[in-house]
């Protein structure tokens, strides 16, 4: 749905307009039309008698939709609403780093309208999908040089194949993990360009995204979501999953084609700003679209994360988005959630850094997964990383000074069958590195924290 400001009324006294106030001028001067009379009456409105600086300050507090409504009230408000600073502020509210010019657009107003109502996508920047088993993690941003909103998959490559010796238990296999995390810039997941024809858009339809992969007859389209009704959502039909705290969940059902859902927004007030869907399909020049892997592989629902969940604090230093080495399954991304226990005042400090508070529980939810333990499931959990859950303080050189706490690791067969939690230990090396010792498997998994802002700036 495109936002478009109305065409303003012609100048005062223009011919051809209705005139019911021709006798207002006792001197016999030019007659007033109805519209002229209303405009003169508006000049007496207290709001319009304010200094321009105060009126600008008032207008800067309202949304884009309300600005459009205000501009339709009278010609004077319309002139104030066209102030470029207002539209620049609306654009920059959605960007981590403010831009100083509209780039390839004629004005900030045309820039805002071009990508409305999708500005929430770069604003929330971190998105993860419900793609079966594996999921997907993407970061979104606005590129002012090209005037596009873009989203790229986060990828990781192992850079070290060295093995380490653990003095505490030499039989345990430890592979060093120094990952190189990148955005896959060659294959965008989301790409919203400036429409040169400025065609109208509608909320309840898909928007096909022009991408390089189209030369291979693979197409992508984005559609918006309605917020889900909590009473209707189940664990199988909601996204994000219940393991991830969220006040904003949407409906998902990969078995049903999107046109049959009847759950698309039809008004701006019905648009969820915390989710969207992307459909991907192959279509050759002759015949109908070909879905080689079924609907599950062609429709993905993306949801965002509340920044409070992945922003570390003094009380929750391990919170954040991490990448872990899962051996044959490759690298996977996880959300570390740290919670305080009610009434638990006991806490410990890292013996190497008194500023690091260690208390409460620490749980890792998979943002991306594998055929055994899929996305949205716990990978491990420790009920207490404080004094109550401490096993020992490491003295061996590899983890010297690190707190070792009790935990449980999540394992399952293919297709998430017979899943169970097994005894494990969590080694809190630092707030940027954690090691997970799977006792019965004789293996250690490393986790490293992601720097989201650095990745977005790639």
pTM for the predicted model, two decimal places: 0.84
Q: Say if CB 281 and CB 218 are below 8 A apart.
A: yes
If phi > 0 it is left, if psi is from -120 to 50 it is alpha, else beta; for residue 298 that is alpha
Per-residue pLDDT at 4: 40
User: DSSP letter at 83?
Assistant: -
Per-residue pLDDT at 23: 45
First and final C-alpha spacing in the chain: 31
Per-residue pLDDT at 3: 40
Torsion of Cα atoms, 263 then 265 then 271 then 275, to 10°: 40
Of all helices (H) and strands (E), which one includes residue 126?
Answer: strand 126-129
Closest by Cα among 419, 381, 389 to 406: 389
Per-residue pLDDT at 357: 79
Domains detected in the chain: 126-159+179-304 (no CATH), 307-456 (2.40.128)
Average pLDDT, 10 consecutive residues per value, the chain (458 residues): 38 38 46 55 73 90 91 87 95 96 95 95 97 95 97 91 90 91 95 80 81 83 91 89 95 62 78 94 64 58 96 95 92 96 58 70 97 97 95 96 97 96 97 96 95 92
Cα–Cα distances (Å) from 229 to 42, 134, 214, 358, in that order, read: 43, 26, 36, 37
Per-residue pLDDT at 261: 53
Per-residue pLDDT at 350: 57
């Amino acid at each position: 749905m495109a936002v478009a400001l109305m065409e303003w009324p012609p100048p005062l006294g223009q011919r051809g307009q209705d005139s019911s106030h021709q006798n207002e001028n006792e001197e016999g001067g030019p007659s007033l039309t109805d519209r002229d009379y209303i405009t003169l009456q508006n000049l007496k409105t207290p709001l319009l008698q304010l200094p321009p600086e105060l009126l600008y300050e008032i207008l800067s507090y309202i949304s884009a939709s309300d600005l459009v409504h205000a501009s339709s009230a009278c010609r004077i408000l319309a002139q104030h609403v066209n102030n470029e600073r207002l539209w620049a502020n609306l654009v920059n509210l959605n960007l981590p780093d403010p831009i100083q010019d509209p780039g390839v657009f004629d004005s900030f107003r045309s820039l805002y309208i071009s990508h409305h109502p999708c500005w929430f996508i770069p604003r929330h920047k971190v998105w993860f999908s419900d793609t079966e088993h594996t999921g997907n993690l993407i970061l979104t941003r606005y590129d002012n040089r090209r005037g596009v909103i873009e989203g790229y998959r986060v990828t990781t490559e192992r850079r070290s194949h060295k093995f380490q010796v653990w003095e505490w238990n030499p039989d345990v296999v430890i592979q060093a993990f120094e990952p190189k995390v990148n955005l896959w810039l060659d294959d965008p997941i989301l790409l919203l360009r400036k429409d040169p024809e400025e065609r109208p858009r509608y909320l309840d339809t898909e928007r096909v995204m022009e991408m390089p992969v189209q030369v291979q007859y693979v197409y992508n389209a984005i559609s918006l979501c309605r917020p889900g009704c909590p009473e209707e959502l189940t664990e199988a039909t909601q996204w994000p999953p219940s393991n991830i705290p969220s006040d904003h969940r949407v409906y998902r059902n990969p078995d049903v084609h999107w046109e049959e859902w009847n759950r698309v927004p039809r008004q701006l007030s019905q648009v969820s700003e915390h989710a969207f869907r992307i459909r991907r399909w192959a279509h050759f020049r002759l015949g109908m679209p070909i879905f080689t892997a079924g609907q599950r592989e062609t429709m993905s629902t993306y949801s965002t994360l509340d920044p409070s969940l992945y922003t570390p604090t003094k009380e929750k230093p391990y919170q954040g988005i991490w990448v872990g080495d899962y051996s044959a399954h490759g690298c996977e991304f996880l959300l570390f959630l740290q919670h305080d226990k009610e009434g638990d005042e006991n806490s410990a400090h890292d013996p190497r850094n008194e500023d690091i508070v260690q208390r409460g529980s620490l749980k890792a939810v998979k943002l991306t997964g594998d055929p055994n333990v899929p996305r949205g499931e716990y990978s491990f959990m420790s009920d207490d990383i404080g004094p109550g859950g401490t096993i020992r303080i490491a003295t061996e050189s590899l983890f010297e000074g690190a707190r070792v706490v009790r935990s449980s690791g999540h394992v399952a067969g293919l297709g998430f069958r017979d899943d169970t939690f097994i005894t494990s230990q969590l080694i809190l090396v630092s707030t940027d590195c954690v090691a997970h010792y799977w006792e019965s498997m004789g293996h250690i998994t490393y986790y490293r924290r992601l720097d989201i802002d650095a990745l977005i700036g790639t």
